[in-house]
Amino acid sequence: MSTATLSQYLKQQTGNLTPELANVIEAIIDSCKTIDQALQKGAIAGILGSAEHENVQGETQKKLDVISNQILIDALQSHPNVGGLASEELDTFTSAQENGQFLVLFDPLDGSSNIDINMCVGTIFSILPAKNAVTQAEDFMQAGTEQVAAGYVMYGPSTMLALTVGAGTVFFTYDIDTQEFILTKTDISINPATQEYAINASNQRHWEAPVQRYINELLEGKTGVRGKDFNMRWVACMVADIHRILCRSGIFMYPYDLKNPKKAGRLRLMYEANPMSMLIEQAGGAATTGRVRILDIQPTELHQRVPVILGSKDEVELVTSYH
């Protein structure tokens, strides 16, 4: 098995990966080590439960949402290579250093409703090139295809990092003794066929017809048009659901629904859909809203939401063809 650390891996990469970009990735990952420590302490440190306020999306923040967000901002705002920051937990973008070459966008703690039940949570990040010496709001409005790196850290039984710098998707596992992320899986490739799907089925009555049809066909199993049985999995933490797909294939869906017709979807384009779509495509999978490739979407606002259908190529193509 390889024993390359994250720094060693980043030094071996070429193409997009300048030393400045490597520095930014390492700063993000160092913050995730601090978040990991906080999560490990849990109730002992008195950091479980809700904070006193809601975030810009109208969701109740957990104390750890606030703590994780602050850890990332403290590390990145003063970083010489970071021009600006945007977080799921902040109303607007935050400018950082003049002439910083990169913009960093993040969901500091994904799946945070899992915190109080001691289940999987994660940090998702996306890195875009900066556009101006002094970052402005419009500079963030770049399609997912412009991302120079994306990844997540999953705080699970092992703490793991999934990373892409545009040359495939790889996994690292955190070694708590040396406090280094060690490269543990390369050449990740999602099987185009799968027998596993992930969707919040409690929203079924709100789904559009194409998704209704697709899920009904999966549920019919061997006796239906698909001629095989499927399994359903749902961790309620996007990081964990995507991690499973990168490990053993599958399709993940948070489709458009009619519960709140004005809301385009539940997941955020800039903090969740884009970085996950890059990781999935770099591993040979596909990612769409059902109508358009996610990475091609021209964003119009920082906190934009989109429908998300991603994972094993054959299944994503089938459900897309129903739209």
Q: Which residue has the tokens 């996610």?
A: 294
Q: Which residue is nearest to Mn ion (CB)?
A: 110
Burial track 217-242 (b if 16+ CB lie within 10 A, e otherwise) = bbeeeeeeebeeebeeeebebbbbbb
Q: Which amino acid is at 89?
A: E
Contact between 107 and Mn ion by CB under 5 A: the answer reads yes
Q: Are 254 and 265 in contact (CB under 8 A)?
A: yes
Q: Which is nearer to Mn ion, 96 or 308 (CB)?
A: 308
Least distance from Mn ion to the Cβ atom of residue 114, Å: 11
Least distance from Mn ion to the Cβ atom of residue 112, Å: 5
Q: Which is nearer to Mn ion, 48 or 318 (CB)?
A: 48
What binding mask, one character per residue, do residues 25-64 give for Mn ion by CB under 5 A, x or -? Answer: ----------------------------------------
Q: Which is nearer to Mn ion, 63 or 313 (CB)?
A: 63
Q: Which is nearer to Mn ion, 219 or 236 (CB)?
A: 236
Given the rule CB under 5 A, which of 8-16, 54-62, 106-114, 224-232 is the region that contacts Mn ion? 106-114
Q: Which is nearer to Mn ion, 90 or 318 (CB)?
A: 90
CA distance 243 to 276: 10
Judged by DSSP in three states, 123 sits in strand
Q: Which residues pair with 85 in a beta bridge?
A: 94, 104
Least distance from Mn ion to the Cβ atom of residue 238, Å: 6
Q: 32, 35, 101, 110: which one contacts Mn ion (CB under 5 A)?
A: 110
Given the rule CB under 5 A, which of 86-94, 132-140, 150-158, 305-313 is the region that contacts Mn ion? 86-94
Contact between 180 and Mn ion by CB under 5 A: the answer reads no
| Residue 193 burial (10 A CB sphere; 0-12, 13-18, 19+) | exposed
Least distance from Mn ion to the Cβ atom of residue 249, Å: 22
CA distance 320 to 207: 14
CA distance 58 to 221: 39
> How many other C-beta atoms can be found within 10 angstroms of the C-beta atom of residue 298?
8
Q: Which is nearer to Mn ion, 122 or 290 (CB)?
A: 122
DSSP state string for 285-318: -EEE-SSSBGGG---SSTT-EE-EEEESHHHHHH
Contact between 241 and Mn ion by CB under 5 A: the answer reads no
What binding mask, one character per residue, do residues 208-237 give for Mn ion by CB under 5 A, x or -? Answer: ------------------------------
Least distance from Mn ion to the Cβ atom of residue 285, Å: 19
> How many other C-beta atoms can be found within 10 angstroms of the C-beta atom of residue 306?
24
Q: Are 242 and 251 in contact (CB under 8 A)?
A: no
Given the rule CB under 5 A, which of 42-50, 100-108, 163-171, 256-264 is the region that contacts Mn ion? 100-108
Given the rule CB under 5 A, which of 2-10, 83-91, 94-102, 140-148 is the region that contacts Mn ion? 83-91
CA distances from 129 to 19, 165, 273 (A): 14, 13, 18
- Using CB under 5 A, count the residues that bind Mn ion: 4
Given the rule CB under 5 A, which of 28-36, 99-107, 171-179, 253-261 is the region that contacts Mn ion? 99-107
What residue ranges bind Mn ion (CB under 5 A)?
Answer: 88, 107, 109-110
